[in-house]
Amino acid sequence: MRAGAIAAVSSGHRVPTARSASLILASTSRYRRELLLRLGLPFAVEAPEVDESARPGERPEALALRLAGEKAHAVAHRHPQALVIGSDQAATLDGAIAIGKPGSHERAREQLRAASGRTMEFHTALCVTRETDGFDERASVSTRVRFRRLDDAEIDRYLQLEQPWDCAGAARVEGLGIALLEAVVGDDPTALIGLPLIALTGMLRRAGLSPLGG
């Protein structure tokens, strides 16, 4: 989806238009769309136009928080009446080495070979904002993932099937990436997929848009 394009999504509700949408997901990820659909709220999807490059010395968690905010605000500026959700994810290996989106087969292979038998921590950041009343909340949810020992044949087969060039750490856990793992430790299982719904539902309630009404 091109930047600035908007699509409507619904789960048994009236589908909102761009102008009428009270909730917009600032993301092109189909996995984030699928997660948000679980809440049963009608929403629109718009692609943000954001430079995702890390700043010099920027830690992965700080990068994810900044980008989540920039994505949300880029879309909120065009739709000030809407509540806009932005999210981003970054990772570290063994708590120290920053792991980004590989962008290529070779880089993804290097990341997974390095992750074999080790622990990767995913930082999933969230921003919910609305310009008309100044509502703005942010959070970061961390998930620790232990990779099992992987051989090159498994890695190459996985990369051939999933092509996870746009996934932090090359681990698309919502797909075949789950087969690479030994254990997952975290407070919110949806955070690892890219949109922490526990934190999100709290933000939506405080913004006056509860999935359960009231």
pLDDT at residue 163, rounded to an integer: 96
Q: Residue 20 domain-assigned? A: yes
Angle, to 10 degrees, between the axis of helix 152-162 and the axis of helix 105-115? 140
Distance CA 170, CA 150 (A): 13
pLDDT tens digit sequence for 168-214: 899 999 899 999 999 999 999 999 999 999 999 999 999 999 999 86
Cβ-based burial of 212 (10 A; exposed 0-12, middle 13-18, buried ≥19): exposed
Q: Residue 37 domain-assigned? A: yes
pLDDT tens digit sequence for 61-78: 999 999 999 999 999 999
**Number of domains present in the structure of the chain:** 1
88-115 burial, b if ≥16 CB within 10 A, otherwise e? bbbbbbeeeeebbbbeeeeebbebbebb
Q: Residue 214 domain-assigned? A: no
Residue 3: which pLDDT band, with cuts at 50, 70 and 90? very low
For residue 202, give its domain range.
6-206
Global confidence as pTM: 0.87
pLDDT tens digit sequence for 175-185: 999 999 999 99
Q: Which amino acid is at 41?
A: L
Q: Where are the alpha helices (DSSP H) in 15-163?
A: 30-37, 60-78, 105-115, 152-162
pLDDT at residue 97, rounded to an integer: 82
CATH, residue 175:
3.90.950.10
Indicate whether 92 pLDDT > 90.
yes
Q: Are 92 and 119 in contact (CB under 8 A)?
A: no
pLDDT tens digit sequence for 26-47: 998 999 999 999 999 999 999 9
Write out the catalytic residue numbers: 88
Q: Residue 62 domain-assigned? A: yes
Q: Residue 184 domain-assigned? A: yes
Average per-residue pLDDT in the chain? 90
pLDDT at residue 2, rounded to an integer: 36
pLDDT at residue 9, rounded to an integer: 53
Q: Are 14 and 42 in contact (CB under 8 A)?
A: yes
Indicate whether 132 pLDDT > 80.
yes
Indicate whether 18 pLDDT > 60.
no
